[in-house]
């Protein structure tokens, strides 16, 4: 069953990586996963033709969406009148300050993010959200399944890497369900999946210097086949690695997130 409204005449744009969701069962599952509650500040990234937007509006009554494609803004606004109050932010999501958006909603307000993220921008969007994690209560995103697998991977897995460590250091990552290509128009060439991320409380993260932590993780996974002794040679020496209780001859994909945190915290400029 399609949820496309008659106001939408523009076809999906390949240049923007658009694949519009139309499967009603998948849409219902996403809305149930979000489970909007009174007082929630919901923000949808990339509403497209409103497949998730309008069911969320029906449930919650108000919603903010961030949409880059100006051709979708007027039909979204027009179709929303029958569902609830829609605020449209016409901007590249990477230029949206989530912390300011939350602060504008009131003291102690936090955002709930939802969206079918464009495959070509999913990782930058995830890292952008991490920069504002303190202003976010949770995120329910649909992404390429391969990315979701990496997000939730355990140490030792072939897909455990920089994305796994960075996300798990700041959030709990829970894959929810898979989405087949046929749920979209046009169908992508890959499977998708829906995942929930819940930022940890700031006091539970335990990272002293986020920039140093990011550098250690980035360098450690820069060349996966290298030992930490070699991969981190620009950051620290073997003695510093050992002093943090980490083996210099280990490889990055073997280290739990807690070891990366301890190692980064032990380094002082």
- pLDDT per residue rounded down to tens, the chain (269 residues): 234 454 545 554 444 445 678 899 999 999 999 999 999 999 999 998 899 999 999 999 999 999 998 988 999 999 999 999 999 999 999 999 999 999 998 888 999 999 999 888 999 999 999 999 999 999 999 999 999 999 999 999 999 999 999 999 999 999 999 999 999 988 888 999 999 999 999 889 999 999 999 999 999 999 878 999 999 999 999 999 999 999 999 999 999 999 999 999 999 76
Q: Was 116 annotated as part of a binding site?
A: yes
Residue 65 counted as domain residue: yes
Instruction: Kindly state whether residues 160 and 245 are assigned to the same domain.
Output: no
Residue 5 counted as domain residue: no
Q: What is the pLDDT at residue 269?
A: 62
Distant-in-sequence, close-in-space partners of 62: CB < 8 Å, separation ≥ 6? 42, 84, 85, 86, 87
260: nearest Cα among 216, 226, 218: 216
Residue 45 has φ and ψ, to the nearest 5°, of -95, 125
Instruction: Kindly state whether residues 45 and 178 are assigned to the same domain.
Output: yes
For the chain, how big is the Rg over CA atoms in Å? 20
What is the reported pTM?
A: 0.90
CA pair distance 147, 172, nearest whole angstrom:
15
Q: What is the pLDDT at residue 5?
A: 52
Q: Was 92 annotated as part of a binding site?
A: yes
3-state secondary structure 97-148: CHHHHHHHCCCCCCEEEEEECCHHHHHHHHHHHHHCHHHEEEEEEEEEHHHH
Q: Was 21 annotated as part of a binding site?
A: yes
Instruction: Kindly state whether residues 231 and 195 are assigned to the same domain.
Output: no
Q: How far is CA 2 from CA 25, 120, 225, 260, in A?
A: 10, 25, 47, 46
Q: Which domain holds residue 243?
A: 210-266
CA pair distance 252, 232, nearest whole angstrom:
10
Residue 132 counted as domain residue: yes
Residue 92 has φ and ψ, to the nearest 5°, of -65, 125
135: nearest Cα among 167, 112, 163: 112
Given a contact cutoff of 8 angstroms between Cβ atoms, the answer to whether 105 and 80 are in contact is: no
CA pair distance 247, 237, nearest whole angstrom:
12
Instruction: Kindly state whether residues 24 and 79 are assigned to the same domain.
Output: yes
140: nearest Cα among 71, 40, 22: 40
For 189, counting Cβ atoms within 10 Å of its Cβ (0-12 exposed, 13-18 middle, 19+ buried), the class is: exposed
Domain of 215: which CATH number?
A: 1.10.8.100
Instruction: Kindly state whether residues 153 and 20 are assigned to the same domain.
Output: yes
For 159, counting Cβ atoms within 10 Å of its Cβ (0-12 exposed, 13-18 middle, 19+ buried), the class is: middle
Instruction: Kindly state whether residues 77 and 147 are assigned to the same domain.
Output: yes
Q: What is the pLDDT at residue 27?
A: 96
Q: Was 211 annotated as part of a binding site?
A: no
Q: What is the pLDDT at residue 108?
A: 85
Instruction: Kindly state whether residues 131 and 222 are assigned to the same domain.
Output: no
Of the three residues 155, 179, 204, the one that is the final residue of a domain is: 204
State the total domains in the chain.
2
Residue 1 counted as domain residue: no
Chain CA centroid to CA 2, Å: 26
Q: What is the pLDDT at residue 186?
A: 82
Residue 101 counted as domain residue: yes
């Amino acid at each position: 069953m399609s949820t496309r409204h008659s106001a939408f005449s523009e076809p999906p744009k390949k240049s923007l990586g658009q694949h519009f969701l139309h499967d009603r069962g998948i849409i219902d599952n996403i809305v149930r996963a979000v489970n909007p509650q009174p007082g929630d500040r919901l923000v949808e990234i990339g509403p497209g033709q409103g497949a998730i937007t309008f069911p969320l509006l029906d449930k919650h009554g108000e919603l903010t969406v961030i949409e880059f494609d100006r051709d979708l803004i007027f039909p979204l606004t027009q179709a929303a009148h029958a569902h609830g109050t829609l605020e449209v932010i016409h901007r590249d999501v990477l230029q949206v300050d989530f912390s300011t958006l939350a602060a504008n909603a009131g003291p102690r307000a936090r955002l709930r993010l939802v969206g079918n993220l464009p495959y070509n921008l999913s990782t930058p969007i995830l890292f952008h959200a991490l920069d504002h994690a303190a202003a976010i209560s949770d995120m329910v995103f649909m992404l390429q399944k391969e990315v979701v697998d990496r997000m939730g991977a355990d140490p030792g897995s072939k897909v455990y890497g920089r994305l796994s460590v960075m996300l798990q250091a700041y959030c709990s990552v829970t894959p929810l369900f898979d989405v087949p290509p046929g749920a979209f128009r046009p169908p992508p060439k890959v499977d998708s999946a829906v995942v929930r991320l819940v930022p940890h409380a700031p006091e539970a993260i335990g990272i002293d210097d986020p920039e140093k932590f990011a550098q250690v993780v980035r360098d450690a996974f820069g060349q996966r086949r290298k030992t930490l002794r070699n991969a981190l040679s620009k950051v620290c020496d073997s003695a510093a690695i050992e002093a943090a209780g980490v083996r210099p001859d280990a490889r990055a994909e073997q280290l739990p997130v807690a070891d990366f945190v301890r190692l980064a915290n032990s380094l002082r400029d």
